[in-house]
Amino acid sequence: MTTAQVVQGATPAWRGGFGRLWSAAVLSRFGDALRTAALPLLAVRLTDDPLAVVAVTACGYVPWLLFGLLGGAVADRVDQRRAMWAVDMARGLLVAAFALAVALGHASIPLLIALAFSLTALQTLFDNAATALLPSVVRPESLGSANARLMTGQQLAGGLLGGPLVPLLLTAGAFLPYAADAVTYLLGAALVASLRIGTPSREPRPPGATLRADIGEGLRQLWRDRALRAICGATLLCNIGMGALIATLVLHVTGWLHAGNAGYAAAMTAYSAGSIAGSFLAQRLAGRLGRLRALLLAGTVQTGALLLLGSVRELAALIAGMLLLGAMGMVWNVNQVTLMQQRAPAAMTGRISAAFRTASTAGAPLGALLGGAAAASLGLNAPALLTAALFAAAVLALIPARSADVSMDEKRGGVTTGPAPG
């Protein structure tokens, strides 16, 4: 298998389906941001039991651990476009029914937990199908740019627009964030359903092939590809680290820096702004260095930013560190997803995507526990230093695979080829 690389500056055409897919993804992220910000606030109104409140958030992770690999296997078997709009229709109806329950005063903690679990279970199919579908919508040389635009739009919609709008909606009615979320799902379903793309050709499956066998086949393919294996392991380490950092960041800012709520808001704003800036750097760095080397650079810079966060007790250092974390995080995400889409066989993209997403999701709660333990035993700045160590380990994990990389400057007719998986 060869690895297609994207020419620097190649951009996806908004016509031909990408514009509708982008709009559906951004609308969905906007609605998700409204719901995820409103659910904990509703949970606190319904109960003062901390475990019950945490359970609502935890149910946003558990389905990925239970069904993530299964969702990838199903995504590789079905028509991905139809799967996406059907899932969005189901999610829209679920959230609309929940909004009605809230409006009528029938909300309860068990209902919140059931909603969070059901939506995430459906998401395991939707996200893996979306990752596998994108290469069918844009040209190969535009894939990296398409991923950058998708992630930038989602960051703007979810990070900068959705969350801040929740307090305004809640003042008008507790049900409104969920009603708006339902509308975004239904609009997204209509946009995806309107895509006109051919059904991807697939090799006939052997008689008696099972989903379990499909999952095993995808994991073996991931393991055989040296670059993908290294990136998946590095991504897991980074997500453990980010879980540790994010879970304790409010303690770091308010307790160690004594910067208060304003400092915490400044840190999160800096991270979002950095992420948007990073979307413009991702393709440029890949064009100069190649995608794997861009990951190495991003991980190295993030390690330095985390050391700055954990060792310099100044608000300016916090803001600079979060800016760098956000920018290089976007560089990492764009190039990691694009590499995965390029190197994975088309018939296995859903399963390999599922392995990446499951590893990422597993890392966050584990990191949160490690971060809490580090903050309690070693000091409130210890999680940032722990995260720096994990990012450094991720960079080291990538180094053996760097020979599989090819700079996009080393191109032939717009597309370069990398070595076969090792």
Q: CA-to-CA distance for 295 and 286, rounded, in angstroms?
A: 9
H/E run at residue 303: helix 291-311
Beta-carbon count within 10 A of 358 CB: 23
> What string of DSSP letters covers 250-290?
HHIIIIIS--HHHHHHHHHHHHHHHHHHHHHHHHHHHHHH-
Strand partners, 417: 4
Per CATH, domain 15-196 is 1.20.1250.20? yes
Strand partners, 415: 412
Same fold, 15-196 and 215-400: yes
DSSP annotation string for 405-416? ---TTS-BTTB-
- Distance, CA of 217 to CA of 203 (rounded, Å): 14
pLDDT, residue 9, reads 44
Could you tell me if 104 and 117 are in contact, meaning their C-beta atoms sit under 8 angstroms apart? no
Q: How many of the other CB atoms lie within 10 Å of CB of 389?
A: 15
pLDDT at 199 (0 to 100): 58
In this predicted structure, what is the pLDDT of residue 234? 94
Sign of the dihedral defined by the CA atoms of residues 253, 257, 261, 263, in that order: negative
* Nearest in space to 30 (alpha carbons), one of 168, 128, 166: 166
Top CATH class of 215-400 equals mainly alpha
The pTM of the full predicted model, rounded to 2 decimals, is: 0.80
Note the pLDDT tens digit of each residue in 281-326: 988 898 888 899 999 999 999 999 999 999 999 999 999 999 999 9
Residue with the two structure tokens 């590789």: 76
Answer yes or no: are the C-beta atoms of 322 and 301 closer than 8 Å. no
Question: How far is Cα 102 from Cα 120, in angstroms, rounded to an integer?
Answer: 20
What CA–CA distance (Å, rounded) separates 141 from 6? 4
- pLDDT value at residue 306: 96
Enumerate residue ranges in the chain where pLDDT < 50.
1-9, 407-422
Structure tokens, 146: 């398409």
Instruction: Measure the CA–CA gap between 279 and 325, rounded to whole angstroms.
Output: 13
Handedness of CA 95, 99, 105, 108 (dihedral sign): positive
For the four alpha carbons of 230, 347, 355 and 163, in that order, the dihedral sign comes to positive
The three-state secondary structure class of 193 is helix
How far, rounded to the nearest angstrom, does the alpha carbon of residue 392 sit from its chain's CA centroid? 21
Contact 398, 233 (CB under 8 A): no
Q: Tell me the H-state helices in 78-108.
A: 80-103
Q: How far apart are CA 276 and CA 143, in angstroms?
A: 18
Q: What is the pLDDT of residue 149?
A: 87
CB atoms within 10 A of CB 144: 32
At 219-275, the pLDDT tens digits run 898 899 888 999 999 999 999 999 889 888 888 888 899 888 788 888 888 988 898
Give just the sign of the alpha carbon dihedral 102, 108, 112, 115: negative
Q: Report d(CA 356, CA 236) in Å as an integer.
A: 8
C-alpha to C-alpha distance for 33 and 187, rounded to whole angstroms = 16
**What are the sequence ranges of the domains in the chain?**
15-196, 215-400
In this prediction, residue 132 carries a pLDDT of 87
Closest CA relative to residue 337, chosen from 253, 265, 231, 408: 231
